[in-house]
Chain A
Amino acid sequence: EAAVTQSPRNKVAVTGGKVTLSCNQTNNHNNMYWYRQDTGHGLRLIHYSYGAGSTEKGDIPDGYKASRPSQENFSLILELATPSQTSVYFCASGEDWGGAYEQYFGPGTRLTVL
């Protein structure tokens, strides 16, 4: 069973503070992704990675950094959190299998920036 876990599941941060969201996958997938989900916007890609040591900017990278220290772990870092970053964040890992490409999503992290 594919498994993607995220921590913390809920986080309250103060404006200007640093926030780190962590993601771990046991699927041995090369590709990992960070999305945020907001009502009316669906999911938007923030950063992604093709393997350990690599990070790429997604569609909305401003205000976020990413780190992929190993195959299993992918972190999203908010150096100076702002209220506009209040959202639900999803991590996913992806694999190409038999002609389909499936992303496996973690349970999500609800972040509130006050």
Chain B
Amino acid sequence: GEKVEQHESTLSVREGDSAVINCTYTDTASSYFPWYKQEAGKSLHFVIDIRSNVDRKQSQRLIVLLDKKAKRFSLHITATQPEDSAIYFCAASKNYNQGKLIFGQGTKLSIKP
């Protein structure tokens, strides 16, 4: 079945630097790629997504890049802040409005002062 692999299980960056989290997917029919954030002891919430008709999307300090040929997508967090510390999950779906998501394993991002 379809898999989404998240390459970094943990990531530590200094406050103010950029963080990059990478994911790959196996199903070429995947067309929708959201990212979710889970702060310590809390539930998940949506942060940003990208659809396969574009290769870059930015929302404030968050940038998502999509390389369909390599079946790879990444989340870039610029000018990191302490509140960016969390677990980030990438996901993929073939039909975005059905919401049947395949999640990666999660990356725990720590921002060092």
- Cβ of B73 within 8 Å of any chain A Cβ, yes or no, is no
Smallest beta-carbon distance A96→chain B, Å: 4
How far is A50 from B95 in the complex, measured between Cα atoms in Å?
Answer: 13
Smallest beta-carbon distance B95→chain A, Å: 9
Q: Which residues of A contact B103 (CB under 8 A)?
A: 35, 42-44
Cross-interface CB contact of B46 among A33, A42, A58, A102, cutoff 8 Å: A102
Cross-interface CB contact of A101 among B44, B45, B97, B102, cutoff 8 Å: B97
Q: Which residues of B contact A44 (CB under 8 A)?
A: 103
Cross-interface CB contact of B49 among A48, A58, A100, cutoff 8 Å: A100
Number of interface residues of A (CB under 8 A): 27
Number of contacts between A and B (CB, 8 Å)?
A: 60
Q: Which 6 pairs show the lowest CB-CB distances between chains A and B? A: A42-B103, A94-B99, A43-B103, A102-B46, A96-B97, A105-B43
- Cβ of A62 within 8 Å of any chain B Cβ, yes or no, is no
Smallest beta-carbon distance B93→chain A, Å: 8
Chain B residue with minimal CB distance to A56? Answer: B100
Q: Which residues of A contact B46 (CB under 8 A)?
A: 102-104
Chain A residue with minimal CB distance to B43? Answer: A105
Q: Which residues of B contact A107 (CB under 8 A)?
A: 42-43
- Cβ of B6 within 8 Å of any chain A Cβ, yes or no, is yes
How far is A100 from B43 in the complex, measured between Cα atoms in Å?
Answer: 20
Chain B residue with minimal CB distance to A106? Answer: B43
Q: Which residues of B contact A108 (CB under 8 A)?
A: 43
How far is A99 from B52 in the complex, measured between Cα atoms in Å?
Answer: 12
Smallest beta-carbon distance B39→chain A, Å: 12
How far is A44 from B100 in the complex, measured between Cα atoms in Å?
Answer: 10
